[in-house]
Structure formats: C-alpha cells, structure tokens
Amino acid sequence: MAQKKLQRFAAIKSFKNVLEYPEDMAGKWNLFFNNENPITLELACGKGEYTVALSAMHPERNFIGVDLKGNRIYTGASQCTKNNQLNAAFLRTQIDKIDTYFLPEEVSEIWIIFPDPHLRTSRAKKRLTHPRFLRLYQKILKKGGLIHLKTDSPVLFYFTKLILDLYGIPVRHYSENVYDEPDTPPELSIITHYEKLDIAQSKKIFYLGFSLPEELLPLPEKQLQELLREIEKTETN
C-alpha cells in the first residue's frame, strides 16, 4: 500500500492537470485553461469523482478538484488525462488556504461533497461549512455564486443549516433526501465512492444550496460556542 502511494505521488508530478501548492496562480486560471469559462471548485474532492463527472457534463465550464491527499487526486487526474478532459484540473493544497489561489470573484460555484463531518463538537471548526471557511469562500466567489453541500451526515447538514439561519443566509435549495425528490438533477445523482460506503448509515443523502452575502459579519466567539453547545445537545439526544 505504501509503495502504491509513493508511485501515485510520483505520477501526479508529471500530470499537466495537477498543480501542487502552486505560486502566483490567482487570476491566472484563464491562462491555465486557455479560456474565460466560469470556474467551479470541488473542495476536499478525494478521488475527484464530482470533478470528473461534472467536467464531462459541462464542457462549457472549468472544474478544479481541491484536496491535500495526492494519492487520492491521482484517481481523478489520471481519468481526466485518459479521457482528454481539458476543462478539469486538480489543486493539491489545504482548503484553509484556498483564498490564496484565486482572485475575488474568480470562482463561480463551489461543491462540497461528502466531506469529513468532524462529528466531535470540539472539532467543529474543521467542518467545511464553519463560518471561518465561509469567509474564505466569500473572498473568491462571484456575487450570487452557489455553494452546494451534499452529505450523508445529519450532523453536518443541520449544523450548516443552523449556521445559515444564524447569519440570515437564505437557503436556495434544501432536501433531506435528494433521491426522494421527484426531479433530482443529474448533478446530484452522481454517486461517489464515499457515498457508496454509507459511513453515516443515515440511509439519506442531504443537500443544501446557498449563496453567501457580500459581507459575513463576525460572530462573537461566545455566541458561536453557545450555538455549538446547543447543537451538541441535539446530536446526543
């Protein structure tokens, strides 16, 4: 297993569609893709299944899968290379540094697909819909740009909904089980490796779609901690 990882790390260094901790990329993605098409990010993309599928569905857009794990990125990057999907790329870096790779309003849309829900309340700051991450997305998203959250974790889903409510952010799309909806769009019907694992065993796939306001006002830490304690009570009941 370790040998396979090392081989994949070596392989992605030769892939033209993988950038590892690149410098001075903000504002230059149009040069990388050689077009001015809108950019969609898949954060914590893992094997990049959404990046692969969405870039095939929408050749008129550019897609970038972002993850720290190079051996996971290898899967999606090699598939896009094989299929000659030139509108797909992969960025290896930490999510909490995402604003250093894009200019304001350079990103049109963000997908967060089955991220680690960080179930312990003490680790809530690591949830990708925590206010500290929302502020990062706000720096790079176009006005009105959609953020999509798809998860099997009710904890992460309801945490996100509470955060949105707290900041008065309207929810544009809401589902407590996307596959029960009469007209599930094809983008939400993409099934990833982690979805198949059904780690949460919730038997439901939750979805939220929302846009951030121009300014996300800071929330006093005490108020946020009180909210997290209330969430924790709900989660343990």
Torsion sign across C-alpha atoms 154, 69, 78, 99: positive
User: Is 116 an active-site residue?
Assistant: yes
Dmax (CA) of the chain: 53
**Which of 236, 153, 148, 149 minimizes the C-alpha distance to 197?**
153
List the catalytic residue out of 67, 116, 152, 198: 116
Amino acid residing at 226: E
Q: Could you write out the three-class secondary structure of 75-86?
A: HHHHHHHHHCCC
From CA 148, how far away is CA 193, in angstroms rounded? 18
- The residues, any chain, with a CB within 8 Å of residue 151's CB and separated by 6 or more, are 112, 113, 114, 115, 117, 157, 200, 205, 206, 207
**Closest of 235, 165, 227 to residue 200, by C-alpha:** 235
Distance CA 44, CA 37 (A): 22
What is the distance between the alpha carbons of residues 145 and 119, in angstroms, rounded to a whole number?
28
Which residues are tagged catalytic? 116
